[in-house]
Amino acid sequence: MRKHWALAFAMISAAVLGSSGRVSAQEKPPIRVAIVALVHGHAHGLLQMMPSITSAKLVAIYEPQKELVEQYVKQYHLEAVPAYNDLEKMLTEQKPDAVLIYSTIADHRKFIEAAAKHGINSMVEKPLATTVEDAVAIRKAGREHHVQVLVNYFTTWQASWRQMYDEAAKGKLGDPRRIVAHAGHQGPKEIGVGPEWLPWLTDPVQNGAGALFDFGCYGADFATVLMHGQAPISVSAIAQTEKPDVYPKVDDEATVMLRYPKAQAVLMPSWNWPFSRNDVELYGATGYAATVGADKVRVRYHGEKAESVVEAPPVPKAESNSLDYLAAVLRGEIKPDGDPSSLETNVVVVQIMDAARRSVATGRTITLEKLPD
């Protein structure tokens, strides 16, 4: 059985940063990254974060929509960063260490494959893909060209979510029995998602589904890590549209049930929450833990009469944001073996979400089959 990824990282980081005579991660040259596409609104978060990051340097942008490029250049003062409308030209001329892909989810595969052919690594926004076929093809490209393909979930960098993995690894909760994951917000239109984003986010082909794919993947990712990469035996799901006048093509409310040999997981993605939420609960044979915001966890162990709220320890720098993590992976300081961002984990996530979509369409429980290697 593979080591728990968080504990494995702790040993790796201690060896790298604690050895005398070695250059620290902060002193190493930044990795060179390029943004591919700007139609995913999370690109704003990336560019807001970038001035405070020393581990990565933005060397180019690819986006065919000139007006969209001009908008970002003006807003984030990117005049010195070359902008391309030809992807191959950008990859050939700039030769970045990695591309950060902010496209539709359906376009992830073509951009990852294009970068992989140049030996360039990729990081995409969640989820990895809209279909199992694309996920398997992406895995093949990563293996054949020996590149990293990583997936960014904002919850991965939160202290409370990291503490949940640590609570499970310590064994005080006992064997996992039930996972409950709530995720979502009031709806993309309601929270003011931009015009470059909203049309494809609410398209069943470009996004895979509505709230089901947009937010179901968070709980599926958490469950897959907790289960050490094991796919569930079966997936059952229901979905509906509470606001058909706003989201006529996709669901805005879903419930997904995952069955494991000795555990269950319930995912509740929604575009109808009264406020934004992304929290997870883990119930074991001898205790439970639940996230409280970004930095606290509620816990209760066997023999205790009441729960307590604990402050989650600060996250190590290399796991505190997507860029520092990416740099640490490319430098060989972290091995993404079964962690929330790893390719293997996220192929299983796509398998779960694809099964959920099929369950909604057919009204049946979907039994998962082993994917081809």
Taken in order of first residue, the domains within the chain and their CATH numbers are 5-154 (3.40.50.720), 159-314+341-367 (3.30.360.10)
Across the strands, what pairs with 58?
33
Q: Tell me the pLDDT band of 372, cut-offs 50, 70 and 90.
A: confident
Q: Name the residue among 12, 373, 45, 8 with its Cα closest to residue 225.
A: 8
Q: What is the pLDDT of residue 157?
A: 98
pLDDT digits (tens, 9 = 90+) for 191-219: 999 999 999 999 999 999 999 999 999 99
Residue 252 has pLDDT above 80, yes or no: yes
Residue 8 has pLDDT above 80, yes or no: no
CA 104 – CA 202 distance, rounded (Å):
11
Question: Torsion angle of alpha carbons 6, 373, 266, 197, nearest 10°?
Answer: 90
Q: Tell me the pLDDT band of 9, cut-offs 50, 70 and 90.
A: very low
Rg (CA), the chain: 20
Q: Compute CA 315 distance to the chain's CA centroid, rounded to the nearest angstrom.
A: 17
% of the chain surpassing 70 pLDDT: 93
Q: Name the residue among 289, 288, 267 with its Cα closest to residue 278.
A: 267
Q: Vertex 262, ends 260 and 267: CA angle to 5°?
A: 45
